Each structure stands twice: as structure tokens, then as C-alpha cells.
Amino acid sequence: MPEFMKGVIKEKPEPGAVYREDLPIPEIKENEILVNVKATAICGTDMHIYPWTEYAQQRVTLPMVFGHEFAGEVVAVGSAVRNFKVGDRVAGETHIPCNKCYQCQTGNQHICEDMKIIGVHTPGSFAEYIAFPVDCAWKLDDSISYEVGAMLEPMGVAVHGVLSGEIGGKTAAIYGCGPIGLMGVGVAAACGASKIFAIDVFEQKLAVAKQMGADVTLRVGKDDVVKTIMEATGGQGVDVVVDFTGSPKAIQEGLKVLRKGGRFSLVGLPNGPVTLDLTDGIIYKEATMIGVTGRLMYKTWWQCNELLKSGKFDIKPVMGGIYPLKDFEKAFEDLKNGAPGKMILIP
């Protein structure tokens, strides 16, 4: 084991981050494993931490190695670890449950009352090594590469959002074609949605949505989204709306295209309060509104595993680019400029 590791660390409360080669390798506790990170992806949360937005300022304690979507090889295990061993290939679950609260003890670890988040509250994966609780480790199937393994965590958000209700045989409108939204399109298609409308601002992202299985792509500011969807559904609206944007306008519009008795799943995080037409948009429609966060531990991970192995879901179009960890600034800049897909860093 080397004495130091390379990594990207947020040192100061200002935009940017620093690449260093002298970071200490994490020490593990009895219930933790140490993983040599083989691939790590940039998340929307990292897009808050890097420029140091108000969202990050309220949550992150500096200095901090950030990043939380990753896969790698186990190189050490704590004394209390029994079900993982050195050499295992793993991906990481971001949410660290306390395993003591009401939610954890009733099967809802993903919304633990005292939850910690890797790369936000504890050191993250933008480094050669990461230590984390064994509860958050998922063994990778031999058929899944480390690059794909690093995308399982965000894929799980897409799976949880789309499958938070019935989707087979349903019409669906998916707002937002960032990486998770694109995977949401792929999940809906793989699970038998009858017609999928994908909505986004960027034409290049909509092109990828087509590859993922969207039947109709609509560009905000160019196409009349409401008119197109209502005409295509005989004036009824779609059975399911899934919002991955958090945009107040998208959420408000989504309620307009949702049919009576339909399901609306909210995944994207708004920056502030959102005004909704509760009377016509929800109450009179008897719409079902579902909030979605993270992944069900570990039901969603099994669903991701089976979707990838089924051959019905191809995650490769969502891979936007692969960069050496030291070129992290270029990866963040490409994302800021609207490049589609997930950017993956290789330590």
C-alpha cells in the first residue's frame, strides 16, 4: 500500500477544487472496507460543490474529497466485515444509513433520519482510495465493467423514479435529459412503456434520448410541448410524468399533460419553493404525486443489475466522456457547457 494517494479535494469555500498527489489514504473502521477506485462519475451534487453554490455551502464541511458515484476493487476489510473480501469488485451506495432509526428498521434505509452522504458528509471517491461502511457496498456482476459500475448509483435514481409506479403499457413524459433522465428514458423503454415523450432544452441531449428509446423528443422553447402531447394522446394526457429537472416550469407543465388519475414522480430538486395549481392539476385529476430520492436498499440495485443483464437496457449512450482524474476541470467545464451524458473520471 502506498503512503499517499492522488485525489481531487475541495479545500476552500470558493469555486474550484485542487488536484493533489499527497493526500493520506483513508483508514478503515471495523465495519468499513477500503476500495481502490477504478472509475468515478460526476454527479449533479458535485456540480454544486465544485462552483460552491448555496446548496453546497449548507451541506459540505471543508476540506473534503468529494464525488460519490464509483466502482473499484476491495483492498482491505475491517475486522467486523464478513460478506466482502479483498479482491471483490464493488460499486458504492451513496446513502449511509444509521441502521437504528424508525426508517432504517422498517426497510427505508434510503431515507434514514440520520443519513450521511458519501462525498458530502464523509470523504468521497474523487481519489485513488475510498473507505466507507460495508452496508453501502454492492458486489458487481462479472459482466459489468468498472465504468458502468460507477454509473449504477445514478442509474438507480432513474430506476427508482420510473418504477415508483406502473410503467408497462403506459404513456410517459420524461422531463430532463441529463444523465439520470436519459437513463430514465431507457428504463421506461426497457420496462414496456407504450410511448415515451422526452423533453429538454438541448438538441444534443434529445438525440441521445432517441437512442435510449424515446418515441417523441420535444425541445423546450422550440416545440409546443403541451399541445403536442395532448394531441398525441387524444386529449387525455400521459399516464405517467417523471420530472428529473426540478424546474418549476417543467413541473407545472407536467401537471398540464398528466391525464386524470395519472402518476407524477418528482425526482429533480427545485432550488426553492414551487407554486402549483393544486385544484385543477392534482385534486380534480385525482393525480398521485410521489417524491423520489436515491435508491431503495437494495431492491433498486437488484433491478439495475437485472436490467443491465437483460440486454434491453444499453447504458453506453449515456457515457458522455472518460477523463483522467487530473483532467477533472475539463470534465466539469464540458458538463457546464451542456455536453450530454455522464462524465467519468479514472484515478
Q: Which residues are catalytic?
A: 45, 48
C-alpha cell at 38: 477504478
For residue 117, give the 3-state DSSP assignment. strand
- Residues 188, 175: Cα–Cα separation, whole Å: 13
Give the amino acid at 216. V
Angle, helix 179-190 to helix 203-212, in steps of 10 degrees: 30
How far is the C-alpha of 180 from the C-alpha of 154, rounded, in Å? 6
SS3 303: helix
All three cell numbers of 169, joined, read 403499457
Q: How far is CA 168 from CA 58, 130, 238, in A?
A: 40, 39, 13
Q: What is the Cα–Cα distance from 175 to 167, expressed in whole angstroms?
A: 16
**SS3 annotation, 141-153:** CCCCCHHHHCCHH
- Phi first, then psi, for residue 333 (nearest 5°) are -65, -40
User: 107 in helix, strand or coil?
Assistant: coil
Helical axes 248-257 vs 225-232, angle rounded to 10° = 20
Q: Measure Cα distances from 104 to 114, 123, 140, 228, 245 in Å.
A: 10, 23, 24, 43, 28
DSSP string, 177-246: -SHHHHHHHHHHHHTT-SEEEEEES-HHHHHHHHHHT-SEEEETTTS-HHHHHHHHTTTS-EEEEEE-S-
d(CA 200, CA 68): 26
